[in-house]
Amino acid sequence: MTVEETNLIQRAQKGDALALARLHDLYYQEVYRYFYYRVEGESFIESLAADLFIRMVERISLFKPESGSFRAWLFGLARSLMLEELLKKDIRYRDYTFGLYAGESWGQPAGRLKRKLAQLTPAERDVIVGRLIENRPAREVGREVGHAIGGVLALQAAALAKLAQAEFGADEPEETRRRFCHQLEDLLSATGDSLAEKALLEQYPKNGPRLAPLAALAREIRSTPRPEPPAGAFAASKSRLMESLDLKKTLGAQHKVAVMDHLGADLRQERGQRLILAILCLVMIFILLSTITVSAIYALPGSPLYPVKLRLEEARIRLAFDPITRDKLVKYYHQRQIKDLQTAVELGRLSAADAQATMTAMPTPTATPTLNP
């Protein structure tokens, strides 16, 4: 591929509509001819050609330059599309034969050649069209029809012999037929160089008389004018392609909006869930603290919650800003602590000696001095 074509394909793979339209313009004629020689019915041929470029848009991201030429990749898509559409008509391509379809221009050179190719099997026809009309390498044609190079050369020789009404030598040993097929390929490779052809025919004196008419027929096929798409077919195909691109763009935008809306809904839902979770956590913390506080209020010396009770009493005293109220609280809590010690001793939770030691260590509350007016 040229650098220009490579850049064009890369732009098309990124969704560049102008690049895709340019590829349509470059390959439409070849695509039309691809279908022309393989199926019948003008409307069917035009429909296949237009559908192929829509499929090209859908799958062009799969094209890898290292796997071969873009033309070969496009023809591969064309073949799969053709087989699918024939199967929809309950027709298997290997059994497909041409009829005298009324819509064909049989009087044109390309039409006469197509009618002549109708006597071949689909595999033979694919090889002749691929090798002599589309000028594709034997390996590429072989990949398309499912044959090795040797099989392609054998089909080529058999098809030309059938068209020339010549004997192919089906009863000959396989090695002899294989040699004949390779000699014919050498001769076809030299087509256009009369001196080279003559030298090859002299080099193959035994098969020369059989090779010459096949080579002449091959030259005739190669020189046959190619079919031209009907007026309006190109424009109709390109119009369908652009409509498809516009639709794809519209659907892509709608999908993007839908995705963003979905993400927005998810985010809102997630935020709501987080808020509810935070509120639940705060409620649980509040309940836990309330439970601890209530339990601490009734705790007695010796209980794990009794130090909490003492801290709560200290906090209550500190929060009393009025000196008189503070003094009352100090005296009240001091008396209650003594009662707590007595109750703990009575319940057997604390020994009398420990209770006495605790009371001795307790500070004696003193009155807060008051100011005289």
pLDDT in tens, 19-73: 999 999 999 999 999 999 999 999 999 999 999 999 999 999 999 988 889 999 9
Quick one: what percent of the chain has pLDDT higher than 70?
A: 87
- Residue linked to tokens 């077919």: 233
Q: Return mean pLDDT, the chain.
A: 85
- Cα distance between the two ends of the chain: 109
Mean pLDDT for 108-137 is 92
In this structure, what DSSP letter does residue 342 have? H
CA–CA dist 215, 260 (Å, integer): 65
What pLDDT is recorded for position 371? 33
* 102 pLDDT more than 50: no
Please give the Cα distance from 155 to 181 (Å, whole number): 9
Alpha helices in the chain (DSSP H): 3-13, 17-36, 42-59, 70-88, 109-117, 122-128, 138-145, 149-163, 174-189, 194-203, 208-223, 233-297, 306-318, 323-346, 352-361
Token couple for 38 = 């393989």
Give the H or E element holding residue 103.
Answer: none
- Indicate whether 320 pLDDT > 50: yes
Residue 366 confidence class, pLDDT cut points 50, 70, 90: low
Q: What pLDDT sits at residue 259?
A: 59
Q: Which pLDDT score, from 0 to 100, does residue 61 have?
A: 93
Tracing tokens 């098969």 back to the chain, one arrives at: 207
Q: Give the residue from 113, 73, 351 showing the smallest Cα distance to 227.
A: 113
DSSP string, 159-188: HHHHHTT----TTS-HHHHHHHHHHHHHHH
Tell me the two tokens of residue 295: 């339990």
Cα atoms in the Cβ-side hemisphere of radius 13 Å centred on 311: 8
**Model pLDDT, residue 219:** 93
User: CA angle, 71 as apex, 68 and 74 as ends, to 5°?
Assistant: 100
**Using CA atoms, how far apart are residues 91 and 76, in angstroms rounded to an integer?**
19
Confidence of residue 372 (pLDDT cuts 50, 70, 90): very low
CA distance 146 to 362: 104
Confidence of residue 265 (pLDDT cuts 50, 70, 90): low
For the ranges 47-51, 118-122, 316-320, the lowest mean pLDDT is seen at: 316-320
Asked if residue 176 lies in contact with residue 183, where contact means CB atoms within 8 angstroms, the answer is no
* Chain position carrying tokens 């003094």: 327
